[in-house]
Amino acid sequence: MLMDITERLNELKKLIVKYQDSYYKTGKSEVSDSEYDRLFDELLNIEKGHPELITADSPSKRVGSDLTQDFPEVSHTIPVLSLDKAYTIEEIYSFIKRVGTEVNNDDLSFILEEKIDGFSIVLYYEDGFLVRAITRGNGYVGNDVTENVKTIKTVPLKLTEKVNIAVRGEIFLLKNDFKKINESLEDTFANPRNLASGTIRRIKSSETAKVPLTIFCYEGFLDSKSEKKFHTHIEILEYLKKLGFNVDKNISIFSKKKINSLFTDDMSFNEIPDEILRRAELRESLPYEIDGLVLKVNEIDVRDKLGFTEHHPRWAIAYKFQSPQAESQVLNIDVQVGRTGRITPMARINPVTISGSEIKNATLHNQDYINQLELCIGDTVAVSKRGDVIPAVEYVTEKNTLGNTIWHIPENCPVCNCVLVRRGAHLFCPNTECKARKVGALIYFCAKKQMNIQGLGEKVLNLLYENGYVKEITDIYTFSPDALLNDNIEGFGQKKVMAIKDAIFESKKQPFRRLLAALGIDEFSHNAIDLVIRNGIKSYDDFKNLVKDKENAFKRLSSIDGLGPETSNKIIEAFTDVKILSILNFFDSMGFKMEEESAENTQADLILSGQSWCVTGTFEKFKSRDLIHDIIRKHGGRVVTSISGNTTHLLVGENAGSKLNKALNLGVKILYESDFIQLLNSMGEVYGKET
């Protein structure tokens, strides 16, 4: 009986793997979906009843599990080095020359491979079974992500031979799959690499299984006890293919003598530069992303002779297509605490200049991002600054040699020492009295987009807070700036104090919508405020009346197109919160505008309603993008700061950055300044003069 079941199980496994393989190779299914599901269910059922029959290579291992996992740190048993880089053909020439003179060998040959822009992984096999999949980490220690990697259909769970081998490869996503998946996401990824590395670190392998990741393998390391020895890289690639690995077939061979290989015809050394340039041109037409090409010595004995530096082998070089905007070393990482308590890790880097400005700090977003990058202090990183966004660390270009491991955000707030709490992807300081949060709220209130109080920036507000002049936003309107003069506070002369007084006075004239936004109520952002005002809730009294009946208030707010239940609840919570109400009462008593005057837009004015606009670059007629944002909102449009599948329009100014490309890829409608002015004029608004 058990024999029958074992036989049936083996039969099912073979069939399912066969169908999966042919689907992967041809993109078409040999059987109907229902037949495939029926076979799979039968396999799962047998395995459920007979767990002792589950083998490590069962297709059921690909489905993943809903159990959460962490990724323990595991030491590598092979050195996981990175590659030396070249950005010019001249540098490639000198590499070839250096190798040639150092080894002086007539049998020397080179292989050119694609440098896949994905996520680096090391697969460890024992007796032909996949036992561990470890991330690169710092080169010595990586994270165990085996369960997630097992869900990748092109990673063999069992090899065709019972060998002990470690295999290096790159996990990646096809461009088309990336596009499809990214469009369906709320928080989109900048590129397939980031999506792939994020997916590899999902805590439920069932989530990883939903993304069609794939792999190319490019290096194999046999157990030292193995009788088999490799003589060339080509032999390694051919053997990997034979064992069942996916190997990139786009390779070129350059040799003095002729080599017969499965892969390609060989060329001579002086054809290397042309071939590199030819392959670089083919890049766009590939279905996956490559960020360069890798030139490797083919002969293993020559490789051994050349050896390694601390960072990379002397027998290979990466020709990178683009030099990063800037490269620098991470000197330290510390965390910033925002007004909402949100913790943002920041890399302190060796100062570098990008388009004229000196960069010393770059954002690392959150712990997940640091994990994705496997970032350690001492690593060299690529840093970018696009438009006016905060510079960001994009990827690691060179691992540290200090033995540092992945950096972790501390458990306590660095400012008030409270234990941090996790909400979604971010950590927060929960202490509402934390100094960083208090000053953050003051900075936000005074910022250009909100009350626009010039002279009250980060530095001055910190000073006012520390010296006890301004602790709460209401203090801005009750403290006397003259005290700064009288108390002889350094840096505050007559002129500066006058300017601050004027700016504070002017801010009292700000429209109600800006005052509301300046309070920084969770979820009640500029866009949400505009939606509510446009729906007739446009004064402080309206809000107070609205929340008298919470149930009705929720019904009314959540029925507004574009306002979700969470935001609706947050609004109700805010207008029943005694602290917020007392602040608003204060502003009311100080004569602030407590009603939105321009809320009487007719339907005809709301010509942009339902549209989602992103604005990038600089403009001739509009002094600031904020002004354009206000106009878009006034006409019913939503303003977003990044391009996603939901963005409908991109308004492009001078020096537009990567947003334009992304918009083109996603088919977002693109307008230039003149188009925008024409559109506004067609609505009867005379823009086009100096605004």
Angstrom distance (rounded) from CA 616 to CA 672: 10
The verdict on 142 binding ligand IVH (CB under 6 A) reads no
Nearer to ligand IVH, 81 or 415 (CB): 81
Kindly identify the residues of this chain, within the stretch 265-294, that bind ligand IVH according to CB under 6 A. 294
Q: Which residues of 631-651 are buried (b: 16+ CB within 10 A; e: fewer)?
A: bbbbbbbbbbeebbeebebbb
Our answer to whether residue 621 is catalytic in this structure is no
In the chain, the amino acid numbered 335 is V
Q: Where does residue 69 fall: left (phi above 0), alpha (psi -120 to 50 degrees), or beta otherwise? A: beta
Closest CB to ligand IVH among 318 and 521?
Answer: 318
Residues 71-90: x where in contact with ligand IVH by CB under 6 A, - otherwise, as a string: ----------xxx-------
Nearer to ligand IVH, 120 or 164 (CB): 120
Tell which phi-psi region holds residue 667, choosing left (phi > 0), alpha (psi between -120 and 50) or beta: left
Among 64, 142, 313, 481, binds ligand IVH (CB under 6 A): 313
- Amino acid, res. 483: A
How far apart are CB 262 and ligand IVH at their closest, in Å? 17
Q: How many residues bind ligand IVH (CB under 6 A)?
A: 15
Q: Is 219 in the site for ligand IVH (CB under 6 A)?
A: yes
CA distance 671 to 194: 29
Q: How far is the CB of 83 from ligand IVH (least distance, A)?
A: 4
Does 318 participate in binding ligand IVH (rule CB under 6 A)? yes
Choosing from 115, 158, 438, 662, the catalytic residue is 115
394 near ligand IVH, rule: CB under 6 A: no
Residues in the chain: 691
Q: Does 170 bind ligand IVH (CB under 6 A)?
A: yes
- The values of phi and psi at residue 112, to 5°, are -110, 120
Percent of residues in the chain assigned helix, strand, coil, to nearest 5: 40, 20, 40
CB of 122 or CB of 529, closer to ligand IVH: 122
Residue nearest ligand IVH (C-beta atom): 120
Q: Decide whether 399 or 662 has the Cβ nearer to ligand IVH.
A: 399
- Residue with structure tokens 């590659």? 83
* 151 contacts 63 by C-beta, under 8 angstroms: yes
Shortest spacing between CB 116 and ligand IVH, in angstroms: 4
To ligand IVH, the closest distance from the beta carbon of 381 in angstroms equals: 13
CB atoms within 10 A of CB 156: 23
Q: Which is nearer to ligand IVH, 136 or 526 (CB)?
A: 136
Q: Closer to ligand IVH at the Cβ: 374 or 596?
A: 374
Contact 122, 133 (CB under 8 A): yes
Q: Minimum distance between the CB of residue 219 and ligand IVH, rounded to whole angstroms? A: 5
Contact flag: residue 306 with ligand IVH (CB under 6 A)? no
Residue 323: phi and psi, rounded to 5, are -80, 145
* Per-residue contact string for residues 102-121; x = within reach of ligand IVH by CB under 6 A: -----------x-xx---x-
Q: How many CB atoms lie within 10 A of CB 32?
A: 9
Q: Backbone dihedral region of 403: left (phi > 0), alpha (psi from -120 to 50 degrees) or beta?
A: left
Query: Active-site positions?
Result: 115
Residues forming contacts to ligand IVH in the complex (CB under 6 A) are 81-83, 113, 115-116, 120, 136, 170, 218-219, 294, 313, 316, 318
